[in-house]
Amino acid sequence: MERLNETSLLKIDEIVAAHRDERGPVIVMLHEVQDALGYVPFEAVLKIAEATGKSPADVLGVVEFYAGFTTAPKGKHIINVCLGTACYVKGSIKLAEEAVKVTGAELNSVSADGLFSVDATRCVGACGLAPVCIIDGRVIAQCTPQVVNAEIKKIMAEEKGTAAAD
């Protein structure tokens, strides 16, 4: 496991200190750590456990219970493809295949350039909108492989423009 840099460790300390005396702060701390770092590293689990008087197993249990938390770094842009029953029946596997093809990321992993995570998710609660794809938090209803392709290419073009401006 890779060690966190000092900036990340200080950010975790700042978040923990801000919520130390609140009631039920574990989920709030976990959300803030994930928002700041993009994932919840084990160091954060340990610091949150110590600050709240919980065991590391209890805090890790919260992380693993909620699908919104991840213990692994994600790409800058996250593509979630629902593979729940309704979406699957309506062809969502083709959405996942298109995302993998265009980004170069394997399913449930990060692209080599770190730009994209392509994740298969189970039901997102939008069965009436199937098939559903979520790109950077935006739900795309009745999605098609063509829409996935266009959205990813749009992000790639924006990234190239950002890189050129740097």
pLDDT tens by residue, 106-158 = 999 999 999 999 999 888 889 999 999 999 989 999 999 999 999 999 999 99
pLDDT band at 165 (very low <50, low <70, confident <90, very high): low
Residue 144 shares a structural domain with residue 98: yes
> Which pLDDT does position 23 carry in this prediction?
66
Residue 160 shares a structural domain with residue 84: yes
Angstrom distances, CA of residue 153 to CA of 62, 77, 127, 141, 164 = 35, 12, 26, 18, 16
Angstrom distances, CA of residue 69 to CA of 28, 61, 74, 119 = 12, 11, 11, 13
From 27, 39, 119, select the one nearest 65 (Cα to Cα).
27
Residue 81 shares a structural domain with residue 138: yes
CATH number for the domain including 86? 3.40.30.10
> Which pLDDT does position 56 carry in this prediction?
96
> Which pLDDT does position 122 carry in this prediction?
84
Give the separation between CA 98 and CA 86, rounded to whole angstroms: 19
- 72 domain-assigned: no
Q: Any bridge partners for residue 138, and if so which?
A: 135
Residue 54 shares a structural domain with residue 109: no
Residue 100 structural domain: 77-165
pTM over 0.75: no
> Which pLDDT does position 63 carry in this prediction?
92
Residues 6+ apart with CB under 8 A from 122: 67, 82, 83, 84
Residue 53 shares a structural domain with residue 18: yes
- Arithmetic mean of pLDDT, 73-77: 91
- 21 domain-assigned: yes
pLDDT in tens, 18-61: 877 766 788 899 999 998 888 999 999 999 999 998 999 999 99
Residue 50 shares a structural domain with residue 83: no
Domain count, the chain: 2
Q: Is the pLDDT of residue 79 over 60?
A: yes
